[in-house]
Amino acid sequence: MSDASWLPSLTTETPEEGFALAVKMARVAVKLTQPDAAVRDAGRAAYGGNADSLIAASQVVATHFATVAAANDYWKGR
Amino acid sequence: MSDASWLPSLTTETPEEGFALAVKMARVAVKLTQPDAAVRDAGRAAYGGNADSLIAASQVVATHFATVAAANDYWKGR
Amino acid sequence: MSDASWLPSLTTETPEEGFALAVKMARVAVKLTQPDAAVRDAGRAAYGGNADSLIAASQVVATHFATVAAANDYWKGR
Amino acid sequence: MSDASWLPSLTTETPEEGFALAVKMARVAVKLTQPDAAVRDAGRAAYGGNADSLIAASQVVATHFATVAAANDYWKGR
Amino acid sequence: MSDASWLPSLTTETPEEGFALAVKMARVAVKLTQPDAAVRDAGRAAYGGNADSLIAASQVVATHFATVAAANDYWKGR
Amino acid sequence: MSDASWLPSLTTETPEEGFALAVKMARVAVKLTQPDAAVRDAGRAAYGGNADSLIAASQVVATHFATVAAANDYWKGR
C-alpha cells in the first residue's frame, strides 16, 4: 500500500466532509470495478449521463454515506 | 469548508425534519455526483420525470433517512 | 412545523402499524421529492403501474420498515 | 386493528420461519402499496413474471429478512 | 417444519461458508417467491442470463451476506 | 474447505484494503451465482459494460464495503 492511500480513514471532521468522502468512494468504486480505459470512458458517461443513471449513482453515494456516518458515530456532538 | 455548510449536522428536532433532511441529501448527492450544467438539467429531469425515476429517487431518500434516524437514536422519546 | 406533523414519531404499538407507517413514508417521499402536480400524477402512475414499478415501490417500503422496526426495538416483547 | 393481524410479531422460532415471514412481508407490501384489483393483477404478474422481476422481488425479501433476523438476534443460540 | 430445514442456522465456521450460505439464500428466495414450474424456469434464466441480471443477483447475495456476517459477529477472531 | 480460502477473514489493516476486499467479494459473487463458462463471459461483460452496469456493480461493492467496515469497527483508531 502506498503512503498516499486514497482512503486512509473513514473519519471526517464534519458531516459535509463525510458526504464528500462518500461521493469519492462511489467514484473510485467505478474505477476499481474495471480499471481499463474503455471502462473509464463508460464511467465518465455514467456520471454525466441521464437522469436514471444519476439517481442510481446517488444510491451508491447514500450507501457509502451510511457507512461513513456510522464510522463517525454520526458526528453526534455537532 | 464554508461557514454555511449545507450539512452541518445530522441531528434534527423531529422525525419530520429528519425526513426533510433526507430529501435534501438525496438532491445534493445528484449535484455533487456531477456538478456541471448539463447534468443539473438531467438532475431536474430526474425529479420531475417518470414514475420509475420517482420511485428510484424515493429509494435514495429512504436510505438517507435510515442514516438520519440512527443519528437521532430514532427520536425515541417522542 | 405544524401541529399536524405527518410523521410525529417512529414509535408504533405493533409491527403491523409499523408496516403501515413504512408504506406511508414511501408515499410521502414521492410527494416531497417533487411536489408539483405533474409529478403527483406520475406518482399515482408509479403505484398503480406495472409489476416492476410495484416491486421497486415495495423495496422502498422494506427500507423504511427496517428503520421503523429498529426505532421500535423490533417490538421484541410481542 | 383486527385480532387477526397479518404481522403480530417479528419473532420466529427458526431462521427458516423468519425467511418465510420475509417472503410474506414482501408480498403484503405489494398489496398495501396499491390495494385495488388492477394492481393486484399487476402484483401477480410481478411474482410470476420474468427473471429480472424475480430477482428484484428477491431483493425485497432479502431486505425484510435482514430486519427479521435482527429482531430475532440472528437466532444465535441455534 | 421438516427436520431437514434448508436454513437451520445463520452461524457458519468461516466467512467463506457464510458467503456460500448467502448465495444459497438468494437462490431459495427466488423459489419461495413463486414456486411453480414456469417461474422456476424463469429463475434459472435469471442466474444464467445477461450481465445486468447477474449483477442484480449479486446485490441480493450482498444483502444476505450482510445479515449472515452480523449473525456471526463478523467472525472477528479470525 | 481448502486451505486457500478466497475469503479467510473480513479483517483488513486499512480502509483501502477493506475496499479492495469489497470489490473482490462483488466479483466472486458473480462467479458463485452461476459458475459455468457462458455466465463467466456474461460476468466479464458486466464489468466491462455500459455505464448503468458499472453503477449497479458499484452498488454491490458499496453493500459489501458496509459489511467489511462494520467487521473492522470502521478502523476507528486511524
Between residues B78 and E40, which one has the greater pLDDT?
Answer: B78
* pLDDT of amino acid B38: 63
User: Taking CB atoms and an 8 Å limit, are F61 and A32 in contact across chains?
Assistant: yes
Task: Give pLDDT tens digits for A24-57.
Answer: 999 898 888 766 666 556 555 555 567 888 889 9
φ, ψ for residue B49 (rounded to 5)?
A: -80, -150
Q: How many CB atoms lie within 10 A of CB F4?
A: 6
Tens digits of residue pLDDT in C11-23: 999 999 999 999 9
Over residues C1-13, the pLDDT tens digits come to 445 899 999 999 9
B-chain CB neighbours of A61 within 8 Å are: 29, 32-33
Which amino acid makes up residue A74? Y
Q: Which residue has the cell 455505464?
A: F51
ipTM of predicted complex:
0.90
What pLDDT score was predicted for residue E1? 44
Highest mean pLDDT among B64-68, C48-52, F35-39: B64-68
The more confidently predicted of residues B33 and E41 is B33
Cβ-based contacts of E75 with chain F (< 8 Å): 9-10, 71
Please give the residue that has the higher pLDDT: either D50 or E60: E60
Which residue intervals of chain C are DSSP H helices? 15-33, 37-48, 51-71
Chains contacting B with at least 3 CB pairs below 8 Å?
A, C
The residues of chain F scoring below 50 in pLDDT are: 1-2
Per-residue confidence (pLDDT) for residue C51, from 0 to 100: 80
Which position has the higher pLDDT, F47 or E54? E54
pLDDT, average across residues B5-20: 97
Contact map slice: E 44-73 vs F, CB within 8 A: 47-52, 54-59, 61-63, 65-66, 69-70
Could C39 and B47 be called an inter-chain contact, meaning their C-beta atoms sit closer than 8 Å?
Answer: yes
| Interface contact flag, D11 C78, Cβ < 8 Å | yes
| pLDDT of the residue at C1 | 43
> Which three cell numbers mark B11?
441531528
Lookup result for grid cell 449479486: E58
Q: Is the alpha carbon torsion for E11, E17, E18, E20 positive or negative? A: negative
* CB pairs < 8 Å spanning A and F: 107
pLDDT of residue D31: 80
Mean pLDDT of A56-75: 97
Distance CA D76, CA E20 (A): 19
Distance CA D64, CA E8 (A): 18
pLDDT score of C58 more than 90? yes
Mean pLDDT score across all residues of chain B: 84
Residues of chain D with pLDDT under 70: 1-3, 34-49
